Amino acid sequence: MSLDSATGQLSLRPALDAPELLAEPVRVALTALAPEHAARCVVAEIDPALADTAALCEHYQMPLDACANCVVVTGKRAGAQRWAGCVVLATTRADVNGVVRRWLDVRKASFAAQDDAVARTLMEYGGITPPGLPAGWPVLLDPAVATAEQVVVGSGLRRSKLLLPGAVLAALPGAEVIEGLGLPA
């Protein structure tokens, strides 16, 4: 997918040149990237009312498969809470009760409550993104995300989106590519 088809009508700027469009943990994570990765991350300001993927794609004329969603999943094992960020293309859904549950080694995995996800990530709901997830959390990536030439993800804020190569996501600390993570929606 070309950069133009992935971005639709988004107006892009280098992400590190627009720190006001990034949640603080996202800005810190992008700053910590290798320079060749950081240089490939761009950000676009959007209408926060359009942060949800379907509305974003329709308004900014982007294909749904140009976007990836990051969901926070949690489960308990022996009384210890386990967390992960799961990233799949917007055309799929994360296999929480199969692949993610087994990967976390928990009896039952579920989407984190909105308040918990926001409090733990320090990001806005609808903008939670892999760069900047808490240290020690695994970032589970579907292979289609990891190999994407460009993918639109959250910026930690509802009022902007990041566009970056899947390879940058795969290079994040704790990132692991998991076969079968994304199921057809």
What is the reported pLDDT for 139? 98
CA atoms of 31 and 103, how far apart (whole Å): 29
pLDDT reading at 130 higher than 90 = yes
pLDDT digit string, tens, across residues 99-124: 999 999 999 999 999 999 999 999 99
In a domain, 89, yes or no: yes
CA atoms of 65 and 153, how far apart (whole Å): 11
In a domain, 178, yes or no: no
Contact between 83 and 41 (Cβ < 8 Å)? no
In a domain, 102, yes or no: yes
Amino acid at 32: A
What is the reported pLDDT for 8? 65
Task: State the pLDDT confidence band at 1, using cuts at 50, 70 and 90.
Answer: very low
Contact between 146 and 169 (Cβ < 8 Å)? yes
In a domain, 16, yes or no: yes
In a domain, 21, yes or no: yes
Q: Is 111 exposed, middle or buried (0-12, 13-18, 19+ CB in 10 A)?
A: middle
In a domain, 99, yes or no: yes
What is the reported pLDDT for 10? 84
List the CATH number of the domain containing 79.
3.90.960.10
- Tokens 């133009």 belong to which residue? 4
pTM for the full predicted model? 0.93
Domain that includes residue 134, residue range: 3-173
The token pair at 10 is 């988004």
pLDDT digit string, tens, across residues 32-88: 999 999 999 999 999 999 999 999 999 999 999 999 999 999 999 999 999 999 999
Q: How many domains is the chain built from?
A: 1
pLDDT reading at 147 higher than 60 = yes
Mean pLDDT of 169-185: 96
pLDDT digit string, tens, across residues 6-25: 566 788 999 999 999 999 99
